[in-house]
Structure 1
Amino acid sequence: MSTKQIRIEQSVSPTGIITYSTEIMHRGLGKHRRIKDRDQSVVVMRAQTQLEQWAAQWAKQQAREKATQKKERAQKQAALRTQIAAKRLTGIENTLKHTLSHDDTVDWDSLKDHSAFPEPGPSLKPPQEPLPRELPPEPDMGSMKYQAKISFWDAFSSKRSALRKQEAQNLYTVDQRAWQDKCSKIQRFNEQLQTDYKAAVIRTEKDHRRRVREWEERRAQFRSKQGEQNKKINQRRADWQAGKRAAVETYCDMVLSGSQYDECCPQEFELEYSDDNGILIVDYQLPAPDALPTLMEVKYVISRKEFVEKHLPQTKQRKLYDDLLYQISLRTVHELFEADTARSLAAVVFNGYVTSIDKRTGKKATACVLSVQADREALGEMDLKHVDPKACFRALSGVGSAKLHSITPVAPLQTLSRDDARFVADQAVVEGLDEGDNLAAMDWEDFEHLIREVFAKEFSGDGGEVRVTQASRDGGVDAIAFDPDPIRGGKIVIQAKRYTNVVGVSAVRDLYGTVMNEGAMKGILVTTSNYGPDAHKFAADKPLTLLDGGHLLHILDRHGHKAKIDLAEAKLLNDGS
């Protein structure tokens, strides 16, 4: 508190002695004091000193309280993080048990749209009937206004008296006519008001009927579309019950997609069902070892003012990881059989794949680390609530390394079929090439077969296979390669673009969508022209490879074939195709 804030009071004793005093207080500390002295400056000094002491004391108290609050918040935060970490680890440990308390059957009826048409029906709001204007009061002949005003002198003259009476009569006649004119105008106005009102009512009712018709049309379209969608669901259900391949695969996809896992699990998979033998093959993407949470406890160390984390020991991390992978395999098979009320599945083959960094190369690689085949009867004999996941997996004759965290590849018991109805017979094109052939101007179907042959040569050294798809180009797939390498191999989608213009980002986006739809591990786009910067930018962080005309000629040359790419010539021949 400054000196200006110190209020000095002066008092005089009966003997004439002057005394100065002030009263100071500190609300935060709850302090109060009265200071008196005969010297005013002493009072001010003592008051100022006391106020400064209180201010310092208050600042220390506030700092202590703030530090205490901060410590308590930090301790609460540490406790909360510990609680979350423990809950998450417990959830992973109980991955298999979690599903046993849930019915995994898909409720077909819940997939249907039973919602009501969301748009309320149009309401009729008729125009407000107007209030007519009131007629003015008719002039009253008996009122004082129309009485003859006869003065003292007028009374002595009959002529002047008659004149005054006539003037009064004339005034009444004028006002009467004015009143009649005004009444006529008001009546005409009211009549027009009613006419306009009736017309407005007719327009409103007509507009309402139009809006009702449009609303009914929209409602009918909504119900029709809703009915079509629900009809499709009914058909899918009928196809599923009949054991049709596509319907069974779709149903199993819904079952596995609806299963709730910890966020460390990718929950990506590919399914293939054989209606001949009732076997469903599941290629399932498992989490990498470093994807699992390891945090056990968080403490706040007051002396260091920092959080200290305690993580699972490496041995427990490895055990948790291996146990989780066994649980996921058993859980997947259990959920599929439990949901299969149509009894379409005779057996389920689960192939678990892990994508991680290969420590030998430093690059990402995908490997099958475990595989198990289980039939309905074998799994039904087991009580999954009490089994040891690893022992149960082995009892089902599952294959996998003793240490799954080592990411040691194993051969899947059964693999997804490479049969694809889109595949067509190969055509030999590349052998007929010579240096004068312009790839940018060749027939597009021949160009696709050329790409197939080129990549067949590229993959042949590793035992790979490349197949070209039908000329309809459905799904945007021109060729599919299969790399058998157990670590880096898999399905590769290849698209061929015989372009003379720069390839934009849309073509690269289409390729990426096709890779996702096909469940492929990589996509390759080959063109006779070049790519724009936006195309390269989009592909930078995705499993996509963009090969331009120069790359294509280089690959051909590597396999002993010569050709050329002349975009200008091709534009003239193909009219810019």
Structure 2
Amino acid sequence: MGRSVEGHARSDRPPGRTAEAAQRTAAVRERVQALGNVLSDALAVEVHGTDLQTLKRAPRRAPPTVSPADLEAHPGPVWDAFVPQAPGPFRWWGAERRYARRLADAEDRFAEAIERHRAAEETRRDRVARALREQVEQQRRLDEATAEQHARIDAYERAVENHERVAVTRYFTKALDRITEPLEFPRRRKVRYVPESTLLAVEWDLPDVGVVPAEASYHYDRSRDAVVAVPRDPVELRRLYQQLVAQLALRALHLVFGSDRYGVVETVVFNGMVESVDPTTGQTVRPCLITLRATREQYQALVLDQLDPVACVRHYFAAEVSRHPEELQPVEPVLEFDLADPRTVEAVDVISEIDARPNLLDLSPEAFEHLVHNLLTRMGLETRLFRRGTDGGIDCVAYDPRPITGGKFVVQAKLWTRTVPPSAVRDLFGTVLDAGATKGILITTSGFGPTSYQFANGKPLQLIDATALLSLCHTHNIPARIIRRAS
């Protein structure tokens, strides 16, 4: 009897374990499907920027400070309530005298009641007047606070509309902070606005490769009487992770451009970072696994629900995507986030006239070229200046002796206040090809438009605008500022 029960239990195990394996496999596939739907799920939610006027508080009314009982005058004493009853027709001896005394006493009490009523009414009127004055004063304070808050919102909105660095950075920081991340992804993200180029730099933390299930499926192993995982092919794991990273980059573009209610961003730089532990050193690292630059025009031409995310970011936006993200192999950002950080370029003093740093716009073109030469030298590059007018479009040649990442760089310096036209960027690219250089660098005291960035995508060109230039000067201890004089 015991053997038959034991045999029956053993016969139940494979079906039960098989079902467990099927459930685990289904969970893994569901997770992979969810990772593949990150972009489509984001597109299903309407994104719109905040109308700053909606942040204005509604006017508030001061609460009433007068008791309803005090609002109306209290009725005064009535003589009929005091007058004694007159003697009847049959009067006893002395009734008239007693009535006269009662009448005199009633008159005294009535007079006292009138006086008390008068004093009470005077106190009530004083109390009402005082309460009304307090209510008026409280209402005045509330109105002033509301007007002050409305004025701050109006000033904030004007600052955003005028492309002011700090205001636009704050606007997009708050907009993106309201976005929830799917599947418990990291929430760390930073933005910096570069007004000279109407560019928003975004540094976005991505989940590491561990977010993709390392198991492809599960099966029941009868010999071991256990549910066993089937490892996912490393190539497939890498492909799924790259697909996820590309989706997250496109999702970020969708969120940024969708939040731009005031039309102040023409170009977005996206750097996708991963915070992880380097298995070779055990140290925490933050490699950049994807970097791209997108203009509004490029983005608006996309049909996001019909494209291949990896093909889009690589071929359309010329993005750099880590070939081996599972090994935390980094890519070089198209723009280092720190070069867009406004904290490194704001004026030292509120009154610019007492700021001791030289204004780069006061330099001559030749002096500006020498400053750029000095900057590149401090950055560790070997540089050679060309004589003006004989450089064939080259102001400076810099050599980076490092293997792999080094090479010959041709540099142009534009001491301009107007936006650098796309033709200058195209000319620089031609110079790079003619000179057989590794990279072309265009440094300016102004900014670049979206067409210039669009042309530079995927080409060995680095565009350094006023913000990035000042950040580099700050990093390498070169005092500098850029103050545009009123015309």
TM-score category of the 2 structures, normalised to the smaller one: 0.5 to 0.7
Aligned to 1:421: 345
Aligned to 2:482: none
Distance 1:369 1:362 in 2: 19
Distance 2:121 2:26 in 1: 73
Q: Which of these residues, 74, 77, 83, is aligned with residue 129 of structure 1?
A: 74
Letter aligned with residue 374 of structure 1: A
Distance 1:310 1:196 in 2: 95
Q: Which of these residues, 111, 114, 130, is aligned with residue 207 of structure 1?
A: 130
Aligned length in residues = 307
Distance 1:121 1:83 in 2: 64
Matched, 1:188 2:115: no
Distance 2:107 2:26 in 1: 89
Q: Which of these residues, 54, 62, 66, is aligned with residue 119 of structure 1?
A: 62
Aligned to 1:198: 121
Aligned to 1:238: 161
Shift of 1:393: 2.0
Distance 1:271 1:353 in 2: 13
1:145-184 equivalences under 5 Å are 146=91, 168-170=92-94, 172-173=95-96, 175-184=98-107
Contact 1:117 1:222 survives alignment (8 Å)? no
Contact 1:126 1:201 survives alignment (8 Å)? no
Question: Aligned-residue CA RMSD in angstroms?
Answer: 4.1
Letter aligned with residue 138 of structure 1: Q
**SS of aligned partner of 2:306:** coil
Contact 2:209 2:325 survives alignment (8 Å)? no
1:193-218 superposed Cα distances (whole Å, 9 cap, x missing partner): 32123213321331233123213312
User: How high is the TM-score relative to the length of structure 1?
Assistant: 0.45
Shift of the 341–119 alpha-carbon distance from structure 1 to 2, 3 Å rule, reads closer
**SS of aligned partner of 1:266:** coil
Q: Which of these residues, 330, 339, 342, is aligned with residue 409 of structure 1?
A: 330
Aligned to 2:251: 331
1:166-217 superposed Cα distances (whole Å, 9 cap, x missing partner): xx413x2553244224313321232123212321332133123312321331
Contact 1:105 1:255 survives alignment (8 Å)? no
Distance 2:30 2:82 in 1: 85
1:141-540 equivalences under 5 Å are 141-143=88-90, 146=91, 168-170=92-94, 172-173=95-96, 175-240=98-163, 244-262=164-182, 264-290=184-210, 321-340=241-260, 344-395=264-315, 396-418=317-339, 420-421=344-345
Distance 2:120 2:230 in 1: 83
Contact 1:85 1:295 survives alignment (8 Å)? yes
Shift of 1:224: 1.9
Distance 1:213 1:415 in 2: 56
Distance 1:185 1:334 in 2: 88
Shift of the 346–204 alpha-carbon distance from structure 1 to 2, 3 Å rule, reads closer
Contact 2:53 2:153 survives alignment (8 Å)? no
Distance 2:329 2:67 in 1: 74
Shift of the 288–218 alpha-carbon distance from structure 1 to 2, 3 Å rule, reads same
Contact 1:132 1:193 survives alignment (8 Å)? no
**SS of aligned partner of 2:330:** coil
Distance 1:103 1:406 in 2: 36
**SS of aligned partner of 1:169:** coil
Aligned to 2:85: 138
Identity of matched residues, %: 21
Contact 1:130 1:193 survives alignment (8 Å)? no
Larger Rg over CA atoms? 1
Shift of the 121–371 alpha-carbon distance from structure 1 to 2, 3 Å rule, reads same
Letter aligned with residue 394 of structure 1: R
Aligned to 2:40: 97
**SS of aligned partner of 1:204:** helix
Shift of 1:353: 0.9
Contact 2:216 2:231 survives alignment (8 Å)? no
Shift of 1:321: 4.0
Aligned to 1:150: none
User: How high is the TM-score relative to the length of structure 2?
Assistant: 0.53
**SS of aligned partner of 1:412:** coil
**SS of aligned partner of 2:115:** helix
Letter aligned with residue 327 of structure 2: S
Contact 1:373 1:398 survives alignment (8 Å)? yes
Letter aligned with residue 112 of structure 1: L
1:367-408 superposed Cα distances (whole Å, 9 cap, x missing partner): 111222233344344321012222222223222233423322
**SS of aligned partner of 1:382:** coil
Aligned to 2:6: none
1:291-334 superposed Cα distances (whole Å, 9 cap, x missing partner): 6799999xxxxxxxxxxx99997568766544322111111123
Contact 2:160 2:264 survives alignment (8 Å)? no
Shift of 1:354: 0.6
Shift of the 210–377 alpha-carbon distance from structure 1 to 2, 3 Å rule, reads closer
Letter aligned with residue 371 of structure 1: T
Letter aligned with residue 93 of structure 2: Q
Distance 1:294 1:285 in 2: 21
Task: Give structure 2 stretches of 5+ with no counterpart.
Answer: 1-24, 218-226, 349-378, 381-487
Shift of 1:366: 1.5
Task: Give structure 1 stretches of 5+ with no counterpart.
Answer: 1-81, 147-167, 298-308, 425-462, 465-577
Shift of the 222–409 alpha-carbon distance from structure 1 to 2, 3 Å rule, reads same
Letter aligned with residue 55 of structure 2: K
Distance 2:37 2:57 in 1: 36
Shift of 1:84: 11
Contact 2:84 2:103 survives alignment (8 Å)? no
Distance 1:214 1:310 in 2: 76
Letter aligned with residue 110 of structure 2: Q
**More relative contact order in 1 or in 2 (CA 8 Å, sep 6+)?**
2
Distance 1:312 1:142 in 2: 123
Contact 2:275 2:287 survives alignment (8 Å)? yes
Shift of the 251–91 alpha-carbon distance from structure 1 to 2, 3 Å rule, reads farther
